[in-house]
Chains A and B, each alone.
Chain A
Amino acid sequence: MRKGLLVLAVLAIIATACAPKTSTSTSAAAGDCTPDTMNLHTPGQLTIATGNPAYKPWYGGTSESGSDWKSGKYTGDPHSGEGYESAFAYSLAEQLGFTKDQVTWLGIPFGKSFAPGPKDFDFAMQQISMTPQRAKAVDFSDGYFDVNQALIADNGSPAIGVTTLAGLKDLKLGAPVGTTSLQVIQELVQPNVEPGVYPDLDTALKDLHNGQLDGVVVDFPDAFYGYADQIVGQFPQLSGGQEQFGLAFEKGNSLTSCVNQAIATLKSNGTLKQLEDQWLQTDASVPVFS
């Protein structure tokens, strides 16, 4: 009994001693944007998180040995500087005053980009569409890419040749979880058949090629990467206005304003536009579903 109380007391003391962790992060004053003064996860390093595998056309190139990423037909390596987001990341880092070697990549599952608490990275760059609801959990940078959604399908699918949203209603469509692609299906198509939702793009495409899906909704630039035989069409915008990708930061991170300054510079000096032209295909002739 005495012994038991003692054990409980010791346990409680241990718990009390290790629980409260005081936050030690110092916030840099606005405008104070050099690698030495910025609020960074690892001093002197810009740590960027993205998914692994990292998909083309956002991440391209060939992975070197020792890299956590494995480049392939559909995937690339963030370290390569090739692909839109990889190239954008290195332009951004340069603008902020980092050398190429000072950029560290961290592979994370999508949920980690918005999990509460201190993050293992400075920001997540993972084709994250910004919505007001999501902005409650993270701070977003200014948008760095305007994105539309498109439907891809294999030859022989009943989706081929469809030009209207109404024509898609009875098709079995699919999308990866957590994307606005799913939202597009639910809000714009309002299908009679329940859409398939997949843990990632890869698994959705497998069901497409197995014939279990009639079509998969993807970000428009993805549609050109041979994931399926044909691009059926583009979707009009959702009610929230032009969909944009943003970088996700821990709430209250002072780094956000520095990154926003850099994004503004890359926009005004034409770098972003040039990266888009270089890495992302587009085709104005792809019809928009009416």
Chain B
Amino acid sequence: MAQSGPSPNVYVPPGGESDPRMPPGSGDRWPKILGGGDTSARNVWIGVGSTLIFFGLLAIIVVRSPGWPEIKDQFFNAAEFKSSFPVILRKFVRNIFIFCAAEVLVLIFAMVIAVLRSLPGPVFTPLRILAAAYTDLFRGVPTILVIFLLGYGMPALELQGVPDSDYLWGIVALTLVYSAYVAEVYRAGIQSVHPSQVAAARSLGLSRWQSMRHVVLPQAVRRVIPPLLNDFIGLQKDSALVFVLGVVDALGQAQIIQQGDFNFTPFVALSVIFIAITIPQARFVDWLIARDQRKRQSSAAV
């Protein structure tokens, strides 16, 4: 097993898992989970053993519980799963459309908010207040309420030029809510860039905006990519909330089948779909963080 421990014959790049400068287990993720830090073969096997026993016991308890036959039939019904999965998957295309559109809009809009809030100087006080009020408001109101208010409120205005598409208002609501979160993430990134860098840029003759654009933002964005992706995973899951407006997305379809057949398996099927798209992203975020850490460790060593 490659992960059972560093062999003296194998070249380990600086910053790799055996790098003495790194805390134990901070390199790769799996050995950390299995061995609890020390990745010797013995510890990995103990980890595997106790895991099997623990989850085996849990499984036995669940399967032997008096309600299990009913749960199995109502939540893990193979026939129901087979018939509902493809139908739900087809409707999931709509969720993908909704969250992709919202993600693009969030990236742009949140940046505007974050930059507004980070503007220095007393002249920009009203803009800073506006940006702060925006993030407070939309982080405070539950997402589903924002969707309700916009989705049923805006078309009811019956104003010329105000579209009445449920999709559109669902996307707008998700964009407004998630922009508030992502703006804070951006802002944290912007603030993490040391002020001396702005001072240096200014002394080179760059304007305030130029130093923001060419010095601060590139570093800020790179640093916040992992938390940004975390927020996007949240956004993807929340795309299912748009169902309350009458958009038949994957959740809507699952509920149609659930209430028609009185069976909860469609919800399990949809959960499988969501897990299948979010886990690779979560691992990708882990990988990004690990890579970032390695980079920083090695550059610190230089």
Within 8 A of A (CB), among B47-63: 50, 53-54, 57-58, 61-62
B142 within 8 Å of A (CB atoms): no
Partner of A198 from B58, B246, B264 at Cβ < 8 Å: B246
Whether the Cβ atoms of A117 and B252 lie closer than 8 Å is no
Whether the Cβ atoms of A134 and B261 lie closer than 8 Å is yes
B-facing mask of A67-109, CB < 8 A → 1, else 0?
A: 0000000000000000000000000000000000000000000
Whether the Cβ atoms of A204 and B246 lie closer than 8 Å is yes
Known contacts A111-B259, A133-B260; A19 and B74 CB within 8 A of each other: no
Whether the Cβ atoms of A203 and B74 lie closer than 8 Å is no
Chain B residues within an 8 Å CB radius of A239: none
Q: Which of the segments A44-52, A159-167, A177-185, A281-289 contacts the partner chain?
A: A177-185
B152 within 8 Å of A (CB atoms): yes
Whether the Cβ atoms of B262 and A197 lie closer than 8 Å is no
For B155, give the chain A residue with the smallest CB separation. Answer: A210
Chain A residues within an 8 Å CB radius of B61: 15-16, 19-20
Known contacts A178-B260, A206-B156; A199 and B243 CB within 8 A of each other: yes
Partner of B74 from A137, A183, A197, A207 at Cβ < 8 Å: A137
Known contacts A194-B248, A198-B246, A211-B164; A133 and B261 CB within 8 A of each other: yes
Chain B residues within an 8 Å CB radius of A115: 74, 264
Known contacts A22-B66, A210-B155; A8 and B50 CB within 8 A of each other: yes
Within 8 A of B (CB), among A172-199: 174, 177-179, 182-183, 194, 196-199
For A4, give the chain B residue with the smallest CB separation. Answer: B50
Partner of B252 from A111, A177, A209 at Cβ < 8 Å: A177
- Work out how many contacts link A and B, with CB atoms closer than 8 A: 111
A65 within 8 Å of B (CB atoms): no
Select the residue from B58, B248, B262, B264 with max chain A CB neighbours within 10 A: B262
A58 within 8 Å of B (CB atoms): no
What's the least CB distance linking A82 to chain B, in Å?
A: 27
B26 within 8 Å of A (CB atoms): no
Within 8 A of B (CB), among A97-142: 110-111, 114-117, 131, 133-134, 136-138
- In whole angstroms, what is the CA distance A178 to B50 when docked? 45
What's the least CB distance linking B160 to chain A, in Å?
A: 13
- Number of B residues near A (Cβ < 8 Å) is 38
A212 within 8 Å of B (CB atoms): yes
Chain A residues within an 8 Å CB radius of B155: 207, 210-212
Chain B residues within an 8 Å CB radius of A110: 259
Known contacts A210-B164, A212-B166; A203 and B256 CB within 8 A of each other: no
- In whole angstroms, what is the CA distance A69 to B243 when docked? 25
Partner of B262 from A19, A21, A137 at Cβ < 8 Å: A137
A-facing mask of B230-270, CB < 8 A → 1, else 0?
A: 00000000000001111010001001101111111000000
Whether the Cβ atoms of A197 and B246 lie closer than 8 Å is yes
Partner of A197 from B66, B164, B256 at Cβ < 8 Å: B256
Within 8 A of A (CB), among B162-195: 164, 166
Chain B residues within an 8 Å CB radius of A117: 67, 70-71
Whether the Cβ atoms of B66 and A116 lie closer than 8 Å is no
Partner of A137 from B53, B65, B263 at Cβ < 8 Å: B263
For A200, give the chain B residue with the smallest CB separation. Answer: B244
A-facing mask of B11-53, CB < 8 A → 1, else 0?
A: 0000000000000000000000000000000000010001001
What's the least CB distance linking B71 to chain A, in Å?
A: 6
What's the least CB distance linking B161 to chain A, in Å?
A: 15
- In whole angstroms, what is the CA distance A203 to B64 when docked? 42
- In whole angstroms, what is the CA distance A177 to B243 when docked? 11
Known contacts A110-B259, A182-B256; A207 and B67 CB within 8 A of each other: no
Chain B residues within an 8 Å CB radius of A268: none
Chain B residues within an 8 Å CB radius of A11: 54
Chain A residues within an 8 Å CB radius of B50: 4-5, 8
- In whole angstroms, what is the CA distance A233 to B256 when docked? 24
- In whole angstroms, what is the CA distance A15 to B270 when docked? 28
Chain A residues within an 8 Å CB radius of B164: 210-212
Whether the Cβ atoms of A21 and B256 lie closer than 8 Å is no
What's the least CB distance linking B243 to chain A, in Å?
A: 7
What's the least CB distance linking A2 to chain B, in Å?
A: 12
- In whole angstroms, what is the CA distance A11 to B54 when docked? 9
What's the least CB distance linking A181 to chain B, in Å?
A: 11
Chain B residues within an 8 Å CB radius of A198: 246
Known contacts A116-B74, A206-B152, A212-B155; A196 and B246 CB within 8 A of each other: yes
Known contacts A15-B57, A206-B156, A212-B166; A178 and B65 CB within 8 A of each other: no
Since A133-B260, A138-B262, A178-B256 are in contact, a sample of 16 more A-B pairs with Cβ atoms closer than 8 Å, ordered by chain A residue number, is: A8-B53, A8-B54, A11-B54, A15-B58, A19-B62, A111-B258, A114-B262, A131-B260, A136-B262, A137-B261, A174-B246, A177-B259, A196-B166, A203-B246, A212-B164, A212-B246
Q: Provide 10 A-B residue pairs closer than 8 Å at the C-beta atoms, listed in order of the A residue.
A: A15-B57, A16-B57, A21-B66, A116-B71, A137-B261, A196-B248, A198-B246, A210-B152, A210-B155, A212-B246
Residues of A within 8 A of B (CB): 1, 4-5, 8, 11-12, 15-16, 19-23, 110-111, 114-117, 131, 133-134, 136-138, 174, 177-179, 182-183, 194, 196-199, 203-204, 206-207, 209-212, 251
Ranked nearest first, the 6 interchain pairs of A and B with the lowest CB-CB distance are A178-B259, A137-B262, A114-B262, A116-B70, A134-B262, A116-B74
